[in-house]
Structure 1
């Protein structure tokens, strides 16, 4: 096996662990609430604490990787993740469980961006669509399978085994990392920590995540707006302090790359809008008389559409470039969301068609954006680019749900046409990046994808 494939496999195992802990914990909420006497708000913080830790540590990951070495940091974060998983499973109170979930998130926030940077650095631009196919396959399979697997584990054993399940997977990734990852090169310099920038970046991200959580609840919306304004102030202070700093904690100058900037815009909106849409669609379909199992089964056509899109993206990205794939993907997702407004009874094929189109469009955009993001990033800047990408990814997961939940709350779920208006807004948001895509000059991208032009024939 080629070394780059070994690096990719270690990263993908870590990525799978991250996704597993995002999606599988919620299936255990009822049993956790019963045993630990947890309120609904406390249950929500089981996920919120994980997401908060995952996001807050990302700005520090680049400095730690330069200071300690990427191999050491990946292996250390795996050990910390496994230990935190055991301590979550052993928690005797909801407060202790939430605290160790935060530690789980902190270790995952070190593992994912560093592993991603290492993997993409070892794949040349013309082969990154293959790596993206692997990444998107994991991103498809884990969320699709983990709730069902978690439900079986909770039913057969207990909620604690949902977290114990992390241990063998973490050990496997750790052993493969020890055997396969090359030793870190000796550091030629010891970078200094931009402590002020780290404080401002962490404050901005922490306040923003808390604001999005508060905005999704009608009762806390005013407080959420206040926290959102504080986040904006912290962001302004960070930009003022670190935009041109020689060694910032986050290198925002990388956003001058048109490819990374466009990819982040697409990924911020398209997956985020789908997550928000699927959240309010559950409420809408339930109101129309759909059963819980019937609603859950709609993720199967979504998964099928996603699988087709991932394969299509791999085959077509190098040939046609990102622009047509992104445009078609946005149109398909927007059309699928729009079809949700036409559903009026729990029969017929319309829901299946809508979810299939959302799967096709969303995954075509996500896979194309993932491949595009790092094409023109120099290897030595890959760590910073990966940190920016993963912060953007985490915000995407929160933003769409917060915006559409807040809109539904403002319209009133019981008011006529409230859900339809939310779906129309979501369909329009899916098309929002299309203007940036159409203006994107893909000349450089096409050159990177074909680094060896055909030689002219000589007579």
Structure 2
């Protein structure tokens, strides 16, 4: 096996671990609530704590990799991840469980950006569309299969098995990282931007707490207040970053138009789908669809997503990103629009709607993943990966929180039009990146050939 194949395998294994821990736990919440006497907000923080850990440590990944070497950082991240999984799976209370999930997220947050940067660095630019296709296949299959696996573990054993199932895989990844990754000498790096790290960590932490509270009907005023605080702290961070020669996150990389566009697309297309899925679930439940039927609509979404990934792999090097991204945004917007005024007597319409959302969303996400790293130099891949993954984590929260709040407000003032207006907003959000896409010159969207 070539070194490139080993690095890609290791990254995809680590990416799978991250996705499993994001999507497998929800099915265990009722059992955890009964066993640990946990409230609904506490259950929500099982997932939020993991995402918070990821978000806090991602900015530190590139500095640590340069200071300690990539192999050491990968091994350290897997040790933290495995320890967090074991401790969470044996936690005696919900408070300890949430704390250990935070530790697990801290490990995962180091694993993903470093592994991703290594994989793209070893991959020639002309082959990066194929690498992206493999990444997107993992991103499709793992979230689709994880809830089923989690449900079986709960039914056959205990909710603790859901949290412990990733331990053997993490130990395999740790052994492979130690054996496969070349040591590499630590690099001379500037002093850590401690002020920027503190302001950024506090701002992002408060932002995630605010978003989680905004999704709860009785906590929206507190969430709005914390959102203001997060905005002020992040504004201070932005000012500090402009005045620092070596900020903890290299925002200057956004001078690359392809990275800037790709991050916006991921925030507003896959991110909007996460929020739309919540709104559509509530709408379909009101129309009498059961949980199994609603979950079943994700099957046409998954099939269409797989087709989109294959399409992107084949056509992106041939026709470029602009037509695929335009078709993707349009497809998701049309799919969301089909849910407006959805009659309960036509179950084929939700099937078509979810298929279009899967096709459109995956055309955008797979194209954006390749585009993001296409113009970055090798030395820029690690800090660029940190920006990309931080944006990815925020995309899971921002659009969902916005659409949930809009639906809640409209339900109190315009109850008859709450769902249609919220879905219209989601469809419009999916189209917003098109404004930037068509302003960029074709040269900034072209794929580089291998030297």
* Match of residue 407 from structure 2: 408
2: CA distance between counterparts of 1:313 and 1:38? 44
2: CA distance between counterparts of 1:187 and 1:64? 9
* Match of residue 21 from structure 1: 21
Q: CA deviation at 1:244?
A: 4.9
2:214 corresponds to 1:199: no
2: CA distance between counterparts of 1:391 and 1:360? 24
Matches for 1:251-330 after TM superposition, within 5 Å = 251-330=250-329
Structure 2 residue matching 1:416: 3-state secondary structure: helix
2: CA distance between counterparts of 1:451 and 1:87? 45
Structure 2 residue matching 1:449: 3-state secondary structure: coil
* Match of residue 96 from structure 2: 96
* Match of residue 135 from structure 1: 135
Give yes or no for contact 2:270–2:365 (8 Å, CA) kept in 1: yes
* Match of residue 353 from structure 2: 354
Q: CA deviation at 1:342?
A: 3.6
1: CA distance between counterparts of 2:38 and 2:418? 32
* Match of residue 70 from structure 1: 70
* Match of residue 59 from structure 2: 59
TM-score by length of 2: 0.97
* Match of residue 44 from structure 2: 44
2: CA distance between counterparts of 1:218 and 1:294? 27
Q: Summarize deviations over 1:233-269 as a string: whole Å, max 9, x none.
A: 1122112111252211111111111010000000011
RMSD: 1.3
Q: CA deviation at 1:223?
A: 1.6
Give yes or no for contact 2:64–2:73 (8 Å, CA) kept in 1: yes
2: CA distance between counterparts of 1:177 and 1:130? 23
Q: CA deviation at 1:449?
A: 2.7
Which of 229-238 and 29-38 deviates more?
229-238
Q: CA deviation at 1:146?
A: 0.5
2: CA distance between counterparts of 1:188 and 1:295? 51
Give yes or no for contact 2:276–2:400 (8 Å, CA) kept in 1: yes
1: CA distance between counterparts of 2:296 and 2:333? 21
* Match of residue 153 from structure 1: 153
Q: CA deviation at 1:61?
A: 1.1
1: CA distance between counterparts of 2:445 and 2:255? 15
* Match of residue 5 from structure 2: 5
Gap regions ≥5 residues in structure 2: none
Give yes or no for contact 2:271–2:396 (8 Å, CA) kept in 1: yes
Give yes or no for contact 2:262–2:372 (8 Å, CA) kept in 1: yes
2: CA distance between counterparts of 1:402 and 1:379? 35
1: CA distance between counterparts of 2:368 and 2:214? 28
Structure 2 residue matching 1:247: 3-state secondary structure: coil
Structure 1 residue matching 2:438: 3-state secondary structure: helix
* Match of residue 455 from structure 1: none
* Match of residue 30 from structure 2: 30
2:343 corresponds to 1:344: yes
Q: CA deviation at 1:225?
A: 1.7
Give yes or no for contact 2:257–2:444 (8 Å, CA) kept in 1: no
Q: Summarize deviations over 1:403-447 as a string: whole Å, max 9, x none.
A: 11001100117911211111111011101111101112131442x
* Match of residue 391 from structure 2: 392
* Match of residue 117 from structure 1: 117
1: CA distance between counterparts of 2:141 and 2:187? 41
Q: CA deviation at 1:99?
A: 0.4
Which of 166-175 and 105-114 deviates more?
166-175
TM-score by length of 1: 0.96
Q: CA deviation at 1:55?
A: 0.4
* Match of residue 83 from structure 1: 83
Q: Summarize deviations over 1:358-393 as a string: whole Å, max 9, x none.
A: 000000000000000011111112111111101100
Which of 93-102 and 239-248 deviates more?
239-248
Structure 1 residue matching 2:415: 3-state secondary structure: coil
Give yes or no for contact 1:67–1:191 (8 Å, CA) kept in 2: no
2: CA distance between counterparts of 1:263 and 1:348? 34
Gap regions ≥5 residues in structure 1: 453-459
Give yes or no for contact 1:59–1:249 (8 Å, CA) kept in 2: yes
Give yes or no for contact 2:50–2:101 (8 Å, CA) kept in 1: yes
Give yes or no for contact 2:206–2:230 (8 Å, CA) kept in 1: yes
Structure 1 residue matching 2:289: 3-state secondary structure: coil
